[in-house]
Structure 1
Amino acid sequence: MRDARGSGRLAAALAVREAAEAVAAGEPVPEAARAEAVLAALESLSACAAAVERWDPVRSRHETLASTGYVAEALAAMESAFHEDPLFPAVRASGRPLRVRDIHPADRRGPMFERVITPLRFTDGVSVCLSAGGRYVGSLHASTVSVGVDDEAVSWLRLLRADLASLVDPLGGIVPVVPGDGGVLAWTPDDGRVLALTPSARPALLAGPLGALLHPSAWPSRLGRHLLVLRGGELSAVEARPAGRWVVVEHRPAAAPAGLSLRELEVLCGLAAGETNRMVARRLGVTERTVGTHVEHLLSKLGAGNRAAAAAFAVGAGLVRLPA
Structure 2
Amino acid sequence: MIRVLIADDHPVVRQGLRTFLDLQEDITVVGEAADGDEAVRLVEELKPDVLLLDLKMPVLDGLGTLGRLSGSPTRALVLTSVSDRGDVGPAMRAGASGFLYKDVDPQALVQAVRSVHGGQVLLAPEAAEAMLAADPAPSPVPLTEREREVLKLIAAGHSNREIARRLTVAEKTVKTHVSNVLMKLGVQDRTQAALYAVRHDLA
Q: TM-score, normalization: structure 2? A: 0.32
Instruction: Tell me which protein shows more helix as a share of its residues.
Output: 2
Give the number of the structure whose residues are more often strand, by fraction. 1
What TM-score, normalized by structure 1, do the two folds share?
Answer: 0.20
Larger radius of gyration: 1
